[in-house]
C-alpha cells in the first residue's frame, strides 16, 4: 500500500515513519512538509520518496493512504482535503478540536468517498487487551466507576504549538486524556455525558526543567495558555469517571492507571503509556472480587509495540465499509468528554456547540 506522510514533526519522525518503512504492507512514496529542516531530519528514513512543501502538491493518484501527522488545529482542513479526493486518511489524535471539524470531515468523506481511520494505539496495547478480556468475560459486571489517570513526572511536550489553545485545542486533556478516554470507551463503551466538574492547573508549564527529554524542545513557554494538569469528575448515563492527567508532577515515574469498578469486581491496570523512559518498573493488572485479589498475568510487550499492532490492523480496517462512520462516532464520543471538562473549568470557555 502506497503511503504519503503529511507533517514531519516528532510523531512522524519517532513513531510512525520508522514503523511504516519497515512494515511489509506499506511503502512510503511521498512526504509533505514546508520546513526544509524537517525534511532533512527524516531524510535517511524516506530516501527515494517524493518531497513536497504543500499538501496540494500531492497528486490524487500518488498514494493509497495519507497519514496526517500535523498540529491539531490543521487536522480538519488537511484530512478533509484528502477525503474529498477519495483517498484513505489516517489521522493522528485528536480527530478535531471542535465539533465543526468533525462535521467538516463527515461532509468531505461523503462528497469525495474517502475513508477515515483514527490513531487508537492505546487500544492495541497488550496490557489493555488483557483488561478488555476481563471485561468481555463478565468479571466486572455492570460498569459503575472508572478511575483514569496518566501522570508524568517530567513530560511537557517540546513543540511550542502544544502549549497554545489556538493550535492545540487544549492542553494535557487533549494530549494525554484523549488516549485514555478512548481506551475506556473501547473497554466499556461510550456513555452520554450528563455533568462534569473539572479543575485545571498550569504549575509547571512556564518553568524550566519540566520538559520531556524524549521530546526535546522549548519546555518553558511564557505565552502558554493551556493546562498542564487537570482533575475532573464526569457523570455519564451509565457510569462515573474520575480523571487526572498531568504533563509534569512531583512523582518519580510516569504512571498510567485504569481502574474499573463494576458490580461484581474491580480491575486495576498500572502501567506507562507512551515513550517516556521514566516508566513503572513492571506493569500490573489486578482483579478484586468479594474480598479476594489475584494478579492477572500480562504478556511481554515492548515500548511502542501498540503502534506496530495498529499498523498490522490497518488493511483490515480500511476494508470495512463502516470505517468512516465508526471513526467519526468514536471521535464525537471522546470529544464530548473533553468539551464537557473544559466547559466546567471556566465560565470564559466557549464550546463550539453542545455535546448532543
> What would the pLDDT profile of 100-138 be if each residue is shown by its tens digit?
999 999 999 999 999 999 999 999 999 999 999 999 999
Q: Which residues pair with 67 in a beta bridge?
A: 5, 90
pLDDT at 38 over 60: yes
Question: Whole-angstrom Cα distance, residue 168 to residue 182?
Answer: 18
Residues 296-304 have a mean pLDDT of: 96
> 229-236 and 240-246 as β-strands: parallel, antiparallel, unpaired?
antiparallel
**Residues 333-348: tens digit of each pLDDT:** 999 999 999 999 864 5
pLDDT at 170 over 90: yes
> Which of the four pLDDT bands, split at 50, 70 and 90, describes residue 188?
very high
Cis peptide before 94 (omega within 30 of 0): yes
Whether 2-119 and 122-307+338-345 share one fold: the answer is no
pLDDT at 351 over 50: no
Residue 228: how many CB atoms within 10 A of its CB?
27
Residues 74-93 have a mean pLDDT of: 96
pLDDT at 197 over 50: yes
pLDDT value at residue 209: 85
Cell 461532509 locates to 107
Name every residue whose Cβ is closer than 8 Å to that of residue 352 and which is 6 or more positions away in sequence: 98, 99, 100, 339
Listing DSSP states for 160-226 in one string gives: GGGG-HHHHSSSHIIIIIHHHHHHHHHHH----EEEEEEEEE-SSTTSTT-B-TTS-S----TT--S
Question: Whole-angstrom Cα distance, residue 237 to residue 143?
Answer: 11
Domain ranges of the chain: 2-119, 122-307+338-345
The C-alpha R_g of the chain, in whole angstroms, comes to: 20
pLDDT value at residue 221: 63
pLDDT value at residue 68: 98
Q: Which residues pair with 286 in a beta bridge?
A: 268, 295
Question: Whole-angstrom Cα distance, residue 211 to residue 339?
Answer: 26
Q: Is 65 buried (19+), middle (13-18) or exposed (0-12) by CB count in 10 A?
A: buried
Architecture category of domain 2-119 in CATH? 3-Layer(aba) Sandwich (3.40)
pLDDT value at residue 248: 96
pLDDT at 213 over 90: no
pTM above 0.85, yes or no: yes
Question: Whole-angstrom Cα distance, residue 112 to residue 84?
Answer: 4
CATH number belonging to domain 122-307+338-345: 3.30.360.10
pLDDT value at residue 353: 46
Question: Whole-angstrom Cα distance, residue 125 to residue 298?
Answer: 11
Residues 284-296 have a mean pLDDT of: 98
Contact present, 82 and 89 (Cβ < 8 Å)? yes
Tell me the three cell numbers of residue 126. Answer: 497488550
> Which of the four pLDDT bands, split at 50, 70 and 90, describes residue 352?
very low
pLDDT value at residue 348: 52
Residues 32-46 have a mean pLDDT of: 92
Residues 131-147 have a mean pLDDT of: 98
pLDDT at 241 over 50: yes
* E strand residue ranges, the chain: 2-6, 27-32, 50-52, 65-68, 88-91, 116-118, 143-151, 193-201, 229-236, 240-246, 255-262, 266-271, 284-289, 292-295
Amino acid at each position: 500500500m502506497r503511503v504519503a506522510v503529511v507533517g514531519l514533526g516528532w510523531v512522524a519522525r519517532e513513531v510512525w515513519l520508522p514503523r511504516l518503512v519497515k512494515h511489509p504492507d506499506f511503502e512510503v512514496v511521498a512526504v509533505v512538509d514546508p520546513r526544509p529542516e524537517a525534511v532533512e531530519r527524516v531524510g535517511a528514513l524516506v530516501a527515494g520518496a517524493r518531497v513536497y512543501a504543500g499538501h496540494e502538491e500531492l497528486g490524487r493518484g500518488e498514494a493509497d493512504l495519507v497519514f496526517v501527522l500535523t498540529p491539531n488545529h490543521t487536522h480538519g482542513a488537511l484530512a478533509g482535503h484528502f477525503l474529498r479526493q477519495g483517498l484513505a486518511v489516517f489521522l493522528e489524535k485528536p480527530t478535531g478540536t471542535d465539533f465543526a471539524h468533525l462535521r467538516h470531515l463527515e461532509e468531505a468523506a461523503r462528497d469525495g468517498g474517502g475513508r477515515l481511520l483514527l490513531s487508537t494505539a492505546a487500544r492495541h496495547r497488550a496490557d489493555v487487551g488483557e483488561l478488555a478480556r476481563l471485561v468481555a468475560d463478565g468479571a466486572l459486571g455492570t460498569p459503575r466507576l472508572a478511575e483514569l489517570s496518566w501522570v508524568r513526572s517530567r513530560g511537557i511536550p517540546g513543540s511550542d504549538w502544544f502549549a497554545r489553545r489556538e493550535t492545540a485545542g487544549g492542553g494535557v486533556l487533549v494530549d494525554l486524556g484523549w488516549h485514555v478516554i478512548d481506551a475506556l470507551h473501547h473497554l466499556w463503551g461510550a456513555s452520554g455525558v450528563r455533568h462534569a466538574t473539572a479543575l485545571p492547573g498550569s504549575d509547571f508549564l512556564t518553568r524550566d526543567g519540566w520538559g520531556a527529554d524524549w521530546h526535546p524542545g522549548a519546555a518553558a513557554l511564557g505565552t502558554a495558555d493551556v493546562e498542564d494538569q487537570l482533575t475532573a469528575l464526569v457523570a455519564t448515563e451509565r457510569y462515573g469517571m474520575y480523571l487526572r492527567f498531568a504533563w509534569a508532577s512531583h512523582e518519580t515515574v510516569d504512571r498510567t492507571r485504569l481502574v474499573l469498578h463494576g458490580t461484581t469486581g474491580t480491575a486495576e491496570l498500572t502501567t506507562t503509556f507512551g515513550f517516556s523512559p521514566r516508566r513503572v518498573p513492571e506493569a500490573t493488572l489486578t482483579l478484586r472480587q468479594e474480598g479476594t485479589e489475584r494478579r492477572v498475568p500480562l504478556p511481554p510487550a515492548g515500548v511502542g509495540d501498540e503502534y506496530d499492532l495498529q499498523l498490522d490492523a490497518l488493511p483490515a480496517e480500511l476494508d470495512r465499509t463502516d470505517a468512516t462512520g465508526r471513526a467519526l462516532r468514536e471521535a464525537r464520543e471522546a470529544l464530548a468528554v473533553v468539551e464537557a471538562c473544559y466547559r466546567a473549568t471556566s465560565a470564559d470557555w466557549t464550546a463550539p456547540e453542545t455535546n448532543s
